[in-house]
Amino acid sequence: MNRQLAAFGDAEVVLVTFTSTPELERYVRWTGIEMVTLIDPDRSTYRAYGLGSAGFWQIWGLTNLKRYVQILAGRKLTAIRRPTEDTRQLGGDFVIDRSGTLTWGHWAEGPDDRPTVQALVDAVRTCD
């Protein structure tokens, strides 16, 4: 992931999450990400950007169930933990220019709906 971050040049990539500090620390250790990370426990940023909650079929639809089965196939069932956050919260990816103006956005329609790294890099380059 850190290699992909280099593609953004001097743009600052910021991760905003609503997880707890201990969960975030575990995630950072697991992934080794090196980016600014902000915790938004009351999800005011999520609301400000219009990020809502997914419905049942968006979370548990066939595509996601297949992915979960693939993930679990390589793990013991004892490795599964109960979620600690709202698994229905949708995310997004946004590009904000140097003046603070939102220039590009992707509002996720499900947990696996993310733009490609190249799409994000292109969006960053257009606001220079």
Whether 79 shows a pLDDT value over 60: the answer reads no
| C-alpha–C-alpha distance, residues 27 and 36, integer Å | 13
76: its two tokens: 């013991």
Residue 25: Cβ within 10 Å count: 12
Give percent above pLDDT 90 in the chain: 45
- Tens-place pLDDT, residues 100-115: 999 999 999 888 889 9
Confidence band of 90 (pLDDT split at 50, 70, 90) = very high
Q: Identify which has the larger pLDDT, 104 or 6.
A: 104
pTM of the full structure: 0.76
Residue 38, phi then psi, degrees to nearest 5? -115, 140
Q: Which class is 2-126 in CATH?
A: alpha beta
Query: Residues 105, 115: contact at Cβ < 8 Å?
Result: no
| C-alpha–C-alpha distance, residues 2 and 108, integer Å | 23
Residue 18: Cβ within 10 Å count: 19
Query: Residues 8, 28: contact at Cβ < 8 Å?
Result: no
Domain ranges of the chain: 2-126
Whether 76 shows a pLDDT value over 70: the answer reads no
Q: Among the listed ranges 27-31, 64-68, 78-82, 91-95, which one has the minimum average pLDDT value?
A: 78-82
The predicted structure's pLDDT at residue 96: 94
